[in-house]
Amino acid sequence: MVCCVGDHLVLDINAQIALFRDLLVAIGQARDCPEHRERIRKLRRNCVEACKTTCQLILPHIQSAMDEGIPADNQNLVMLYFMAQLFLRELRKSHRLIQIVPMDMSGYYDNRAGPSNLGNVISQILLCKQITPDFNHEELCSILKDSEEITKILKDIGEYMPKQENNLEKPSALNEDISNQWTKKQRNFIYKHMDLLCCAAQPNYL
């Protein structure tokens, strides 16, 4: 059951990251507008939450298996690790793009709450004056926070990723524990299925 749910979540993350990357391409282009930036923001947050949820679902089972002496061999975990790496790269790209091409979001948020409007409301009450929110600044801060969360996920998953030893050809390696080493089956699986990750495929604009 967990495996089936994990499969679904991994595929969903794959599609979301691919869409996120494509949306970033439009920044600074003709179809770039406040609505487009808001769509990017919402999709980014959804991607982060999906990565966190999937990690929280898969890791406990990996940890339990490792405690019982069973080598970690969960393909969804490996896929999540690679996709999180790709997503982190796109987060850094989005941060740089927003710095270079800021968007005036004041009109878009006139009649609705911004990404963190509560803080502005409290500040207005305390300072007794109107505060105009800087949505680009808030977005940059939010992206940095999301990047930290994805980095933490990568660190947590990295502890259970298969590792390849550099001394496999040494005679002493025959007597060592190889439970964490890459197997031929695992490598073939990754190479075979990387083309299924649309987030790792060639962008539509190329």
Give residue-wise pLDDT tens across range 91-103: 999 999 999 999 9
Q: State how far the Cα of 148 lies from the Cα of 92, in Å rounded to an integer.
A: 11
Q: What is the mean pLDDT of residues 159-179?
A: 54
Asked whether 22 and 203 are in contact (CB, 8 A), the reply is yes
What whole-number distance in Å separates Cα of residue 86 and Cα of residue 52? 15
Residue 192 has pLDDT above 70, yes or no: no
Domain boundaries, the chain: 2-164+177-200
C-alpha angle 105-109-112 in degrees, rounded to nearest 5 = 165
Q: According to the model, what pLDDT value does residue 174 have?
A: 42
Q: How far is CA 102 from CA 11, 16, 113, 117, 205, in A?
A: 32, 23, 19, 19, 22
Quote the DSSP letter at residue 129: S
Flag whether the pTM goes above 0.75.
no
Cα dist. 95→86, 125, 135, 136, 165 in Å? 14, 31, 13, 10, 36
> Tens digits of per-residue pLDDT, 55-104?
999 888 888 877 676 665 678 888 999 999 999 999 999 999 999 999 99
